[in-house]
Amino acid sequence: MRTEAGRGRRALLTAALLAAAAPATHGAWAAEEAAGAPEVASGFGADWQSWRAANDVSDMPSVQRGARNFVSYCLGCHSLKYERWSRLAQDLGVPPRLLEQDLLPPGDKPAQYILTSMPAADAQAWFGKTPPDLSLMARARSQDYLYQFLRTFYVDPASQTGANNLRLPATAMPHVLSELEGLKRAVYRQAAGTAEGGQVTGKPVFDHFEQIAPGRLSAAEYDGFVRDTVNFLDYVSEPTQTARRALGVWVVLFLLVFTWLAWLVKREYWKDVH
């Protein structure tokens, strides 16, 4: 488990990143509130399968906030075994001093990979399975899957953790973001069906969520929190994707010019034949 010193360091980083990204954060949340967030206390979430992350890894303030979110809420259980702290700092513009003093867990070095301090044996005993590494999760599951997963937790007394999830039913992961989002319950309705003998049966089908306890963040703020976190995981899945896309434009332009030159050469060689 992390020491109090480690928590203090991450708290300092959180404050620094929050201060740096505050204008962008408030602007995004204000825009979402103006557009009308889908969550309302009386009932929401019926269209959860159509929710989209709409993330942009070139939005550096968003990726920085996502890194803050991951270190604060995810690193206790999940690793990023293909990402080094030094690469993270370089890509996200985190100064080496800030990285070493306020972000690195005690005893870790910048050249090391981002690994959780939770022993695998303890995770197996507590959750029934080892929490997965999230380095390639955005590529394996898609950004929309992660966004829907983090948005569709609900209270389930029958679950060992007291929570369940629409995107991944019977998930072993507790709702670690409940203090931010609050608590909500899933409301089901009976959908008519027909059994083999022709008997009409009723099958419970999810209808909507109902908020039963508020969180520290408003609905729009929590939505922004999740989008930033997914944006960071998308970056981690391929740290060079922004540069790759920028380079791809020049590659396509080069191929177009080369094709034009090849056509001119072909016309010159074949002009006597035609």
* pLDDT of the residue at 23: 39
Q: How far apart are CA 243 and CA 33, in angstroms?
A: 32
Q: Is the pLDDT of residue 1 over 60?
A: no
CB 231 within 8 A of CB 57: yes
pTM for the whole structure: 0.75
- Residue 102's pLDDT band (cuts 50, 70, 90): confident
Q: Does residue 13 sit in helix, strand or coil?
A: helix
**Residues 63-77 pLDDT 10s:** 999 999 999 999 999
Q: How far apart are CA 193 and CA 202, in angstroms?
A: 6
Q: Are strands 182-194 and 200-214 parallel, antiparallel or unpaired?
A: antiparallel
CB 37 within 8 A of CB 223: yes
Q: Does residue 246 sit in helix, strand or coil?
A: helix
What residues contact residue 140 under an 8 Å CB cut-off, 6+ apart?
Answer: none
Least confident span in 6-15, 154-163, 198-207 = 6-15
**Cβ of 25: how many Cβ atoms within 10 Å?**
19
> Facing residues of 211 across strands?
184
Mean pLDDT score, 255-273: 88
Q: How far apart are CA 208 and CA 72, in angstroms?
A: 30
Which segments within the chain are labelled E, that is strand?
80-84, 113-114, 153-155, 163-165, 182-194, 200-214
Helices (H), 74-218: 85-92, 96-102, 120-127, 137-141, 143-151, 178-181
> Facing residues of 185 across strands?
210
Least confident span in 85-94, 215-224, 228-237, 264-273 = 264-273
User: Taking Cα atoms as reference points, which of 67, 108, 69, 124 lies closest to residue 90?
Assistant: 67
